[in-house]
A and B are shown apart, each in its own frame.
Chain A
Amino acid sequence: MNRRKFLTTSILISIFPTFFIKFADKESQKLKIINGWVLKAQDLD
């Protein structure tokens, strides 16, 4: 990835955070490692 593409992506993420897919909210940060997957507790709900 070139610098321009990386910066563009970073800027887009910072300006339009909701545009990007969110896998999980920032709450519930407790980590679970199951079968190698490092997951948030809420991923297991």
Chain B
Amino acid sequence: MIFDLNIKDRESISDLLYDVCIIGAGAAGITIANELGRSGLKVALIEGGSKEFTEESQDIYKGKNTGDPYYPLDVTRLRYLGGSTNHWGGMCRTFEKIDFKRDYLGEEYKWPINYEELSKYIDDACKILEISNDFEYLDSEIKNVKPIKYQYSNVRFKSKYQSHLINSTNISLFINSNLTDIDGDNETVKTIKIQSYTNNFLSIKAKKFVLALGGIENSRYLLWFKKKYSDKYFDTTTPIGKYWMEHPAFTLGRAFVKNSAYVKQYYSLKDEPQKNSKILSCAFRMQGASSSETKQMIKNLICVAPTFGQKIAKLVDKNFVCGIKFRAAWEQSPADMSSVSLTNKTDRFGISQANLTWIKNTLDRKTIKESTKVFNEWFLNDDIGRIQLDNWLVNDLNYPENDELGGQHHMGGTRMSDNSKYGVVDKNCKVFGSKNLYIAGSSIFVTGGHNNPTLPIVQFSLRLSEHIKSLST
């Protein structure tokens, strides 16, 4: 069933008591709605946007950036049915075992679950994203470095699931329905209030509520409810909005390689060099350079090493050597100073806009510097080619501002933890101090790995669905 709150024609709907109300119909919200609906639970799925992109909905994402240079908040994500899967690149890879074993870096890195508790959902998540569960090459014989594999999904959640959601008897999809308030008793949310762009209002009653609003909005709404109701509904001493993470993504330089097999390949470091250097993970990307870029690169080399450069120039002419752009996206350390907070400005529904303070710290710089050093050792020791690093990396200058900056992957802010000092939700994604409020999406990630977040978002959503089903039987 679908209800468009812009056209309020179902007055009686407010009398229904749903088993679960999910707010946000992106990858996480739709996955959970489908799973719970299939099990027979009555689900309300609340989407602030429409079935298509609208400016009035997208405007709700406007906010402020007060940290490192970053994209405007209303362009890094999409606010309509299907969420940001409407424009994602489809790159899929999930967490690795080492991502759950970063305790040696401090308590902030400690997951309350282990790798196996997530990996058991990989097959079903891959089916949803219509990709193969095939992410690893055979053991790499390269010292310290391993090639890594991604799968590419063409799934847009709106296209794939819109008909199913509309035709489902157990799922009620509300569009143009913006969460504006909550109501209930101590520690228990009983009702949410939603509002349309045409100023229609509706209350939705449910036994359990799941916020699946995205990697910035989950923090924003919890902060808003904290501001409005103090600790009435949940523990407000937790680090809501803090430990926000991205995947820093920058061009590191350029290189030439002796074999085109290395082009378009992705690499990361094996576990040992990461542990030995006390750094996080990094994915190196080798992208083919154009002929003019390659020629310029060789010209630069000739200036530095004339004889060697001339030798390489001849090999380039014979297509024995190719030029590449040397890029990387890496894991950011969880730090409380990198955060989502509220501004004094409100959106059209009176809710404070988000203020994103994305800050990269010294460990983030160390991760890319040390990782590049290890990668370079492989390049030279195995005579793969030569790399020319950009000035900012060699001389520890500011990060370039006219680069990719980040993967537009919003993680943390409502992380899971056994300890409310470092997390906002417990291992079952229930908000600390609440009896029935859950969080879904990448905001619960304790650490970010270097992997794209959508596949693990779907895995965690399947896990949360299973937990909610177990409580409802």
Instruction: Say whether B308 contacts A21, CB under 8 Å.
Output: no
Residue ID in chain B nearest A44 by CB atoms: B305
Instruction: Say whether B137 contacts A33, CB under 8 Å.
Output: no
Contact with B along A1-36 (1 / 0, CB 8 A): 101011101100110000011111010010101111
Instruction: Say whether B394 contacts A31, CB under 8 Å.
Output: no
Please measure, in the bound complex, the distance between the C-alpha atom of A6 and the C-alpha atom of B137, giving whole angstroms: 9
Residue ID in chain B nearest A34 by CB atoms: B304
> Knowing A21-B258, A23-B385 touch, does A35 contact B315 (C-beta < 8 A)?
no
Q: Please tell me which one of the listed residues B261, B305, B394 contacts residue A1 in the complex, with CB atoms under 8 A apart.
A: B261
Instruction: Say whether B386 contacts A39, CB under 8 Å.
Output: yes
Instruction: Choose, from B36-44, B102-110, B351-359, B375-383, the stretch at the interface.
Output: B375-383
Instruction: Say whether A35 contacts B321, CB under 8 Å.
Output: no
Instruction: Say whether B321 contacts A36, CB under 8 Å.
Output: no
Please measure, in the bound complex, the distance between the C-alpha atom of A43 and the C-alpha atom of B304, giving whole angstroms: 10
The prevalent SS among residues of B at the interface is: mixed
Q: Please tell me which one of the listed residues A1, A10, A21, A33 contacts residue B320 in the complex, with CB atoms under 8 A apart.
A: A21
Please measure, in the bound complex, the distance between the C-alpha atom of A9 and the C-alpha atom of B379, giving whole angstroms: 16
Query: A38 to chain B: closest CB distance in Å?
Result: 5
> Knowing A6-B261, A20-B259, A43-B308 touch, does A36 contact B141 (C-beta < 8 A)?
no
Chain A residues with Cβ under 8 A from B263's Cβ? Answer: 1
Chain A residues with Cβ under 8 A from B383's Cβ? Answer: 22-24, 26
Q: Please tell me which one of the listed residues B141, B381, B385, B386 contacts residue A10 in the complex, with CB atoms under 8 A apart.
A: B141
- Which B295-325 residues have a C-beta within 8 angstroms of A? 300-301, 303-305, 307-308, 311-312, 315, 320-321
Q: Please tell me which one of the listed residues B147, B301, B321 contacts residue A6 in the complex, with CB atoms under 8 A apart.
A: B147
Q: Which of A10, A21, A38, A43 has the most CB of B within 10 A?
A: A38
Q: Please tell me which one of the listed residues B138, B320, B386 contacts residue A43 in the complex, with CB atoms under 8 A apart.
A: B386
Q: Please tell me which one of the listed residues A5, A9, A14, A23 contacts residue B386 in the complex, with CB atoms under 8 A apart.
A: A23
Chain B residues with Cβ under 8 A from A1's Cβ? Answer: 261, 263-265
Please measure, in the bound complex, the distance between the C-alpha atom of A29 and the C-alpha atom of B378, giving whole angstroms: 12
Chain B residues with Cβ under 8 A from A14's Cβ? Answer: 141
Q: How many A-B residue pairs have CB under 8 A?
A: 80
Chain A residues with Cβ under 8 A from B340's Cβ? Answer: none
Instruction: Say whether B304 contacts A39, CB under 8 Å.
Output: yes
Please measure, in the bound complex, the distance between the C-alpha atom of A1 and the C-alpha atom of B285, giving whole angstroms: 12
> Knowing A5-B261, A6-B147, A9-B261 touch, does A23 contact B394 (C-beta < 8 A)?
no
Residue ID in chain B nearest A2 by CB atoms: B149
Chain B residues with Cβ under 8 A from A37's Cβ? Answer: 300-301, 304-305, 386-389
Please measure, in the bound complex, the distance between the C-alpha atom of A32 and the C-alpha atom of B394, giving whole angstroms: 12
> Knowing A5-B261, A9-B259, A23-B383 touch, does A36 contact B137 (C-beta < 8 A)?
no
Please measure, in the bound complex, the distance between the C-alpha atom of A3 and the C-alpha atom of B132, giving whole angstroms: 13
Instruction: Say whether B308 contacts A39, CB under 8 Å.
Output: yes
B391 contacts chain A at the CB level, 8 A cutoff: yes
Chain A residues with Cβ under 8 A from B390's Cβ? Answer: 36
Residue ID in chain A nearest B252 by CB atoms: A36
Chain B residues with Cβ under 8 A from A13's Cβ? Answer: 259
Instruction: Say whether A38 contacts B261, CB under 8 Å.
Output: no
Please measure, in the bound complex, the distance between the C-alpha atom of A9 and the C-alpha atom of B149, giving whole angstroms: 16
B253 contacts chain A at the CB level, 8 A cutoff: yes
Q: Which of B261, B263, B391 has the most CB of A within 10 A?
A: B261
Instruction: Say whether B259 contacts A38, CB under 8 Å.
Output: no
Chain B residues with Cβ under 8 A from A26's Cβ? Answer: 381, 383
Query: A21 to chain B: closest CB distance in Å?
Result: 5
Please measure, in the bound complex, the distance between the C-alpha atom of A24 and the C-alpha atom of B308, giving whole angstroms: 9
Q: Please tell me which one of the listed residues B147, B149, B264, B376 contacts residue A38 in the complex, with CB atoms under 8 A apart.
A: B376
> Knowing A23-B386, A29-B380, A35-B388 touch, does A6 contact B265 (C-beta < 8 A)?
yes
Instruction: Say whether B259 contacts A35, CB under 8 Å.
Output: no
Chain B residues with Cβ under 8 A from A10's Cβ? Answer: 141
Please measure, in the bound complex, the distance between the C-alpha atom of A45 and the C-alpha atom of B253, giving whole angstroms: 24
Chain B residues with Cβ under 8 A from A36's Cβ? Answer: 253, 388-391, 394
Can you list 25 pairs linking A and B with CB atoms under 8 Å apart? A1-B263, A1-B265, A6-B137, A6-B147, A9-B259, A13-B259, A20-B259, A23-B311, A23-B385, A23-B386, A24-B383, A26-B383, A29-B380, A33-B394, A34-B305, A35-B300, A36-B389, A37-B300, A37-B387, A37-B388, A38-B386, A39-B386, A43-B305, A44-B308, A45-B308
The 3 A-B residue pairs with the shortest CB-CB distance in the complex, in nearest-first order:
A9-B261, A43-B308, A36-B388
Residues of B within 8 A of A (CB): 137-138, 141, 147, 149, 253, 258-259, 261, 263-265, 300-301, 303-305, 307-308, 311-312, 315, 320-321, 376, 379-381, 383, 385-391, 394
- Extra contacts, 6 of them, besides A20-B259, A43-B308, A44-B304 (Cβ < 8 A), are A13-B259, A20-B258, A21-B315, A21-B320, A38-B379, A44-B308
